[in-house]
Structure 1
Amino acid sequence: MSAEGGTKAVVAALLANSGIAVTKFIAFLLTQSSAMLAESIHSVADAGNQVLLLVGKKRSEREANELHPFGYGRERYIYAFIVSIVLFSVGGLFALYEGWHKVSEPHPITAWQWVPVVVLLIAIVLETLSFRTAIVEANHVRGSASWKNFIRRAKSPELPVILLEDLGALVGLVLALIGVSLTLITGNGIWDGLGSMSIGVLLVIIAIILAVEMKSLLIGESATAEHVAAIEKAIADEPLVDRLIHMKTLHIGPEELLVAAKIAVTASDRASDVADAINAVEERIRAAVPIARAIYVEPDLDRAPAESAPPLS
C-alpha cells in the first residue's frame, strides 16, 4: 500500500508542478517579478525531484545479484537524499540570491500587473489538490502516528518527501502572493524581493529536514517497535526456544527487513529438532511481518543466570 500510494502521490505532484512551472515562468516573462522567477525555479526543481523519486523507485526494484545480495532497496533512499540537495541548491539558494538581487535593486511591476496574482491563485488551487492526494495516501499507512512522527519514522521515502515538498510549495505560494501583492499596492519592488528571500529560507529549512531524515535511512534504521514486538512474539511461540538472547533488525529497503537473532536452546536438544525449530521460527516471523525477507537465526546454549535471563513466555 505504501509503495503504490507513494507512486500515486509522486505522479500527482509531478503533473501539478510541471503545469505550474510553465505558467509561473510565463508570468515571470510578462512581469519580471522576482518572486515569480523564484517560484518558477521552485516548481521546476520540484518536478525534477519527482522524476528522481520515480527513477529511484524503479531502480530499487532490480533483482538481487552476487554483487548486491540484498538487492537495491536502499537506492530509493539515495535518490530521496539527492532530492534534498536539489531542493536546497536549485530551489532555496537560488531564491535567496534572486531575492537579494531584487532587494538591492528594487523595481515595481509595471506590466501585466494582474497576471502574477491570477497565476499564483491558480497554482495554490493545483498545489492544494496535489497536497490533498499526498495526505490521503499517507493516511492509508501512517495509522495513529502524528504527522511529525510519520515524517520521522516512515521507512518509505516518497510520501514524506512529497508531503514536505507540497507543504513548502503551498506556503511558498502564499509568501509569493503576499510579496507580489504588496509590490503592486505600494509600487515598491522590495516586497517582491523579500517574498523571494522568504521562499528561499523556507526551502532551505525543508531541504535540511529531508536531508537529515534520508541520511538516517541511508545509514540504516531498525524495524519499527510494532514489528520488533511481532518478531519477538513469533520467536517466543516456538516451544523449543528457551529465550531470545539478542536480536538485530535492519531495513535494507522500505519494504525489506533483515532479521538476525540468537536463540537459546538446551544441550539435550537434538540437532534435527533445533533445525526444525529454526525453520518454524522463520515461518512465524514471515507470517507476522511479511516484509522480513532475510532472516538469520542462530542457536546457542543458554549459559545466562536464570535471574538475569528469564525464559520466553
Structure 2
Amino acid sequence: MSANGGTKAIIAALLANIGIAVTKFIAFLLTGSSSMLAESIHSVADSGNQGLLLLGGRRAKRAATPQHPFGYGRERYIYAFIVAIVLFSVGGLFALYEAYHKFFDPHGITEHQWVPVTVLVIAIIMESFSFRTAIKESNQTRGKQSWVRFIRRAKAPELPVVLLEDFGALVGLVFALFGVGMTLATGNGRWDAVGSGMIGVLLVAIAIVLAIETKSLLLGEGAESHEVAAIERAVTDGPEVERIIHMKTLYLGPEELMVAAKIGVPACETAEEVARGINAVEARIRAAVPIARVIYLEPDIYSAAADRAGTGSAAHTAVPESDEVAGRPGS
C-alpha cells in the first residue's frame, strides 16, 4: 500500500464521518432515538480513529535514533491497535449499553418522525462514497487476493482499518434504519433498542478482528512467500554465494523489511572478494524487493556434516576450539 493511498482513504473517511456525526446528533436531539445516539457515537469514534491513523502515519516518519535504531515504522501498528480498542469500547460497548437502557425504558418516536429516516439515508449515501474510495485505493495493492486475505495479510494497517470501519458504518446504518423504521411502524421503542444492540454487536466483532490482526503485526511478521522467493533468487543468482544456510525476515514497519541471512561462500576467497560479493548480493536483493532496506549477510563456508549436526557451517566442525577462541573466521 502506498502511503498516499492510505492517507487519501483516511481523509475521505474522516470528512464523511464528521459530517455524518453532526447530522446524527441533531436527529437524536430532535427524536430521542436510541439508534441515532448509538450511530452518533459510532461516527464520533470513527472520526477519532481516522485522526489516530493520521497521527500514527506522521509519527512513523521520524528518523531513527540511537534509542530506536530501526526507526518508528511500527508506530503505525500501535495506533491501529488503539483504533481497535476505541472502536470496541467507545463504539461497540456504548451501543450495547444504550440498547440495554432503551429496552427497559422504551419510548417511541413521536416528534419529527421524518428526521431520523432522512438523516440515515443521507448518511448511507455519504458513507458509500467513503467506502468506495477505500475500495478503490485498496484495489491498487490488493491484486488478485480475496478481500479476506487482503485484510489478514496486509502489512500496512490503514486501508484494512478504514475498509472495516466503513463496512461496519454502512451495515450499522442499515441496522439503525431497521430499528427506527420498525419503531415508527409499530410505535414500540424496543425495536429502536434492537437496532442499537445490533450495531453494538457488529462494532465489537469488527474491533476484535482488527485487534487480532494488528496484534500479529505488532509481534512481528516475516515477508510474504513471494517476497522470500524473490530474495532467495537474488541471493543465489550469482557466483558470490553457493547457497543460503538459513535466512530470516522481519517487517520493521509497513514499508521496511529486514533481511538477515547466513550464506555459504566459496572457500579460499580473500576478505576483499567476500566483501565485494556481499555488496553485489545486497544490491540484487534491493532491486528484487525494494522495501528490503535493512540487510545483514553473514558469510560462512557450508558443510553438509555441520548442517546435519544443526550448525550449518564448517567452522564448528572443522575449526578447533582453540582456533575459535583465537578469533579465526568461521562462526
Place the TM-score, normalised by the shorter chain, in its bin: over 0.9
- Determine the C-alpha separation between the residues in 2 that align with 1:81 and 1:30: 35
- Determine the C-alpha separation between the residues in 1 that align with 2:279 and 2:148: 39
Give the drift of 1:289: 0.7
Query: Match for residue 138 of structure 2?
Result: 138
Unmatched 5+ stretches in structure 2:
313-331
Give the drift of 1:3: 1.1
Query: Match for residue 191 of structure 2?
Result: 191
Deviations 1:20-60 (A, max 9, x none): 00000000000000000000000000000000000000000
> Is residue 77–residue 157 contact of structure 2 (8 Å, CA) maintained in 1?
yes
Query: Match for residue 325 of structure 2?
Result: none
> Is residue 175–residue 199 contact of structure 2 (8 Å, CA) maintained in 1?
yes
Query: Match for residue 181 of structure 1?
Result: 181
Deviations 1:254-297 (A, max 9, x none): 00000001101132222211111100000011111111110000
% of aligned pairs identical?
Answer: 70
- Determine the C-alpha separation between the residues in 2 that align with 1:28 and 1:240: 70
Query: Match for residue 78 of structure 2?
Result: 78
Unmatched 5+ stretches in structure 1:
none
User: RCO higher in 1 or 2 (8 Å CA, sep ≥ 6)?
Assistant: 1
Query: Match for residue 98 of structure 1?
Result: 98
- Determine the C-alpha separation between the residues in 2 that align with 1:213 and 1:144: 20
Tell me if 1:270 matches 2:270. Answer: yes
> Is residue 240–residue 278 contact of structure 2 (8 Å, CA) maintained in 1?
no
> Is residue 31–residue 113 contact of structure 2 (8 Å, CA) maintained in 1?
yes
- Determine the C-alpha separation between the residues in 2 that align with 1:146 and 1:27: 38
Q: TM-score, normalised by structure 1?
A: 0.97
Deviations 1:69-114 (A, max 9, x none): 1000000000000000000000000000001100111100001000
Give the drift of 1:68: 0.6
Q: TM-score, normalised by structure 2?
A: 0.92
Matching of residues 1-313 of structure 1 within 5 Å: 2-305=2-305
- Determine the C-alpha separation between the residues in 2 that align with 1:304 and 1:124: 64
- Determine the C-alpha separation between the residues in 1 that align with 2:306 and 2:143: 39
1:240–1:55 distance in 2 versus 1, CA, 3 Å: same
- Determine the C-alpha separation between the residues in 2 that align with 1:306 and 1:99: 66
Amino acid at match of 1:206: I
> Is residue 223–residue 257 contact of structure 2 (8 Å, CA) maintained in 1?
yes
> Is residue 80–residue 158 contact of structure 2 (8 Å, CA) maintained in 1?
yes
Give the drift of 1:226: 1.4
- Determine the C-alpha separation between the residues in 2 that align with 1:306 and 1:217: 34
Give the drift of 1:307: 11
- Determine the C-alpha separation between the residues in 2 that align with 1:124 and 1:195: 16
Give the drift of 1:240: 2.1
1:248–1:42 distance in 2 versus 1, CA, 3 Å: same
- RMSD of Structure 2 on Structure 1 (CA): 1.3
- Determine the C-alpha separation between the residues in 2 that align with 1:62 and 1:226: 29
**3-state DSSP class of the match of 2:140?**
helix
Which 4+ runs in 1 deviate beyond 2 A?
305-309
Q: How many residues align?
A: 309
> Is residue 27–residue 36 contact of structure 2 (8 Å, CA) maintained in 1?
yes
- Determine the C-alpha separation between the residues in 2 that align with 1:78 and 1:64: 17
> Is residue 109–residue 189 contact of structure 2 (8 Å, CA) maintained in 1?
yes
